[in-house]
Amino acid sequence: MSTPQTYIPTIELNDGRSIPQLGFGTFQVPPADTEKVVSDAIEAGYRHLDTAQMYGNEEGVGRAVAASGIPREEFWITTKLNNTFHERTAAREATERSLEALGGRIDLYLVHWPLAMHDDVARVWEAMEEVRSDLAVDSIGVSNFTEANLARLAEAGLSTPTVNQIESNPYFVNDELRAACVERGIAVEAWSPLAQGSVFGDPQLTALAEQVGRTVSQVVLRWVLQRGDIVFPKSSSPARMQENLALFDFELTDEQMASVSALHNGTRSGPDPDVFDWRG
Ligand SMILES: NC(=O)c1ccc[n+]([C@@H]2O[C@H](COP(=O)([O-])OP(=O)(O)OC[C@H]3O[C@@H](n4cnc5c(N)ncnc54)[C@H](OP(=O)(O)O)[C@@H]3O)[C@@H](O)[C@H]2O)c1
């Protein structure tokens, strides 16, 4: 496959590894369509792919990567430990299945949800540290961890996660938790950056996009990047995949950045980690 060489900056994680700041998300990409959609994303120029055991589409991601003919080491693949596998042995077996699906290596492996109402998050983090030392898992991190969950890991004397993947978009900026992550040296990954499509049709974002001469999607994704977060929008359309990559030849002013942040109204696109209780 011949693909464009898109310039993507990297962010250095607290374990010394560098992650591409922009990638491609696969939540709600149906398993049967995943190989085709991810192949289109690779063709568009994406090399950072975000999947999860919960999405049921890791095999499709792995097949698209293998079919691309591009060396596996040119990709950054993130996947996530499912809620049903927090216990040590189950975590190891789930990791082995993910490794098999994703070409034998996981670049970044996250605890998908803390489920702190059931478990001590320190126990699942110990299981993550174990798979990182024993299996082909390079970096480990968390997702949807609250400040209290992060504090619990530190209090238990465990390692600091490399990233916390949390909801962040113009309607739910999540700035307090973002700041708490930065303070602990944890990189922030912003999920549902486009609020799962709710940003489209927003009159203020439409006006700003017109002012900048870009699309609403590009303005919002650029806002996420300029805040220093890592981001991986999802799209099923090759044209929109390309649109979402074209973010490195313009900048938002401080005033424009502030006008996007001012859209915050506390509306989440996804579940609140303090009450999300799905265990399949
Ligand atoms: N850790 C977690 O708990 C968690 C939770 C949610 C998401 N995530 C991760 O974050 C990724 C991104 O979040 P998300 O998938 O929820 O939503 P999102 O990226 O915020 O939004 C995706 C939606 O926006 C549309 N879209 C994308 N680009 C567009 C464009 N340029 N113009 C118009 N519409 C556009 C897509 O439609 P089309 O497909 O039709 O283009 C889709 O409906 C996920 O895929 C997943 O990897 C993680």
Mean pLDDT across the chain: 96
- What's the pLDDT score for residue 280? 60
**Residue-range domains of the chain with CATH:** 10-194+228-235 (3.20.20.100)
* Mean pLDDT within 85-106: 98
**Known catalytic membership, residue 55:** yes
What CA–CA distance (Å, rounded) separates 99 from 103? 6
What CA–CA distance (Å, rounded) separates 47 from 111? 22
Q: Give the confidence band of 5 by pLDDT, cuts at 50, 70, 90.
A: low
User: pLDDT of 225-240, one tens digit each?
Assistant: 999 999 999 999 999 9
149, pLDDT greater than 60: yes
164 CB within 6 A, ligand 1: no
3, pLDDT greater than 60: no
In sequence order, which ranges of 107-246 are alpha helices (DSSP H)? 121-134, 147-155, 175-183, 203-212, 216-226, 238-243
Ligand 1, pocket-test mutation among 27, 110, 202, 237, most atoms within 8 A of CB: 27
Q: At CA 154, angle to CA 168 and CA 231, rounded to 5?
A: 20
Query: Which protein residue's CA is at the shortest distance from atom 5 of ligand 1?
Result: 191
200, pLDDT greater than 60: yes
58 CB within 6 A, ligand 1: no
243 CB within 6 A, ligand 1: yes
* Mean pLDDT within 43-68: 98
- What's the pLDDT score for residue 6? 76
Measured from the Cα of 236, ligand 1's closest atom is 39
Query: Which protein residue's CA is at the shortest distance from atom 16 of ligand 1?
Result: 192
93, pLDDT greater than 60: yes
Q: Give the confidence band of 74 by pLDDT, cuts at 50, 70, 90.
A: very high
Q: Tell me the CA–centroid distance for residue 48 and ligand 1, in Å.
A: 15
